[in-house]
Amino acid sequence: MHKPLFPFPRIWLKRIGLSIAVLCLVIIAMSIGYFIGFNQLEGELSREREQTKQLIEEIKLITSIDEGPATRADLKASEQEKEIQRLKQELQTILDQERPAGALKPQHEYAPKDSKALPPPSYTRPKVPEGSEAKLVIIIDDVSYERDVKSIRSTGLPLVMSFLPPSPRHPKSAELARGESGYMVHLPLEAEHFDDEEPATMRSETTEEEMAKRIANLKQLYPNVRYINNHTGSKFTADAEAMERLIRVMKKEGITFVDSRTTPKTKVPAASFKNGVRYIGRDVFLDHQSGVANVKKQIREAVAKAKRHGSAVA
C-alpha cells in the first residue's frame, strides 16, 4: 500500500493554489489601479498647474490694464500740480512787483504819493453846551484777516471794525464779519493816485444800476451792515454826480455813508443833504503818523472834539 506524496489531501492543494492565484490577481489589479490612478492624478495636477499658470497670466494682464491708466493719470496730475505751483509763483512775483515796497502806510487813504501829507480837514460843526453828553466812535479800517479781528478784540474796547469786501487777497473777510455783532464795510472807491487798489473798486463813471448791484451784493455778504465808509476814494468822493448816485442807492438799502474824508474836495456833505440823509464824516485820523505817542495824541484830540461837538469819529 503506497503513502500519499503530501500530507494534505489534493482538495487543499487546489484551494491553496486558487487562493494564491486570487491574491496575485488582486495584487496585479491594485498595481494597475495605482498606475492608472497615478496617471489620472498626474494629469489632473498637470491641468491644474496649467490653469494656475493661465490665471497668473490673466492677473498680470488685468493688473497692467488697471495700473496703466492710473499711472498715467497720476503722472498727469503730478504735472498739473507742478504747473499750478509754477503759475502761483509767477502770480506772486507779479503781485510783489506791482505792490509798493514795504507795508502800506495810513497815508494811502488820502495821499499815497506824499508820506508826510496831513489828513484833509474834518467837517466844520457847531459846538454843544459845555458838559453835554459826548460820544466817540473809533473805526478800524482795512480789517481783512483773522489776525486783524483777534488783535482788535484783544483790546477789550468797543472798536468798530470796517471790513474790506472779499477778494483773492482776503477771501474770508465777509465770513469774519458775521462773527461780530456790529461792523461796517470799507468800500473801495476810486482814488486820484493809488497803485495798489482793491479789486472791484467802484469808479466815478459807474452807473447807478451797477452801483445798485454792487451794494445789493454787499448786503448779501454782510447781512447786518448799516454803515459803509470809503476806502481811498479821493477821486470818487470829489465827484458830485457819482456821490449822488451812490447815496441814492444806499438810502434805498437803508445804509448810511460815512465819509472818510480822504480829500478836501469831498462832495459827500452836499450829496447827503440833497438826498435828505444825515451826513457823518471822519473827524480825526488816528495813525496818519506812526508811533504810539502820535496815536495817543490823536485819541486825545478825538475826545476833545467829541466833547466840543457832542460826537466825533476817529
314 vs 306: CA distance, rounded Å: 10
Instruction: Pick 106-313's CATH classification: 3.10.180.10, 2.60.120.380, 3.20.20.370, 3.40.50.300.
Output: 3.20.20.370
Is a pLDDT exceeding 80 seen at residue 32?
Answer: no
User: DSSP character for 105?
Assistant: P
Residues 164, 140 contacting (CB under 8 angstroms): no
Residue 139 has a pLDDT of 98
- Fill in the DSSP letter of residue 7: S
The per-residue pLDDT for 193 is 87
The domain spans of the chain are 1-98, 106-313
Q: What is the pLDDT of residue 106?
A: 74
Q: How confident is residue 67, by pLDDT bands cut at 50, 70 and 90? A: very low
Assessment of whether the complete model's pTM goes beyond 0.95: no
Summarize the chain as % helix, strand, coil (round to 5).
50, 10, 40
Sequence-distant (≥ 6) Cβ neighbours of residue 106 within 8 angstroms: 285, 287, 288
What are the Cα distances from residue 311, in Å, to 34, 106, 129, 314?
116, 23, 12, 10
Span of 48-52, 144-148, 150-154, 257-261 with lowest mean pLDDT: 48-52
What cell was used for 67?
495700473
Cell 482795512 sits on residue: 142
